[in-house]
Structure 1
């Protein structure tokens, strides 16, 4: 089994009100030294079998059309061995 991880973040120029709220809470709760917070989404997609180039390309297509809004979000995609978490 393989896992494809897609991390989605707002583009740097897009205002992140949730990140700003969390940043404010850090200070109120006494956590110092936090310069900024950006909040995003993480998708962990477990595949049956191996992550072939074709299957990863399909997930990338899903990220482009379903998981991320390309107007306001960027994403990164990487493949993990699902067995790593089992240990």
Structure 2
């Protein structure tokens, strides 16, 4: 079980690294400057953190190291990514 937990945790860190990159996807909008697009993305990221299912504990180190815990965290990360995409599309951006 320990190896599975470590591999799962590594996957979580990889996903988190992708999520915290300067852009989550490449978003464009005809009349938006890079600064405006970045500000909109940051706003969408903040909204996604507050809207994603908060029943999942954000810190796996304070919980027993189980596959279920890691899976719950990965689900929350995916929810946040999905919410960012919805928010950006609602603002008129397209993802390429």
**Which interval holds the TM-score relative to the shorter structure?**
0.3 to 0.5
Q: Which has the higher contact order (CA 8 A, sep 6+)?
A: 1
TM-score, normalised relative to structure 2: 0.32
| Bigger proportion of residues as strand | 1
* Structure with the greater alpha carbon radius of gyration: 1
TM-score, normalised relative to structure 1: 0.34
| Bigger proportion of residues as helix | 2
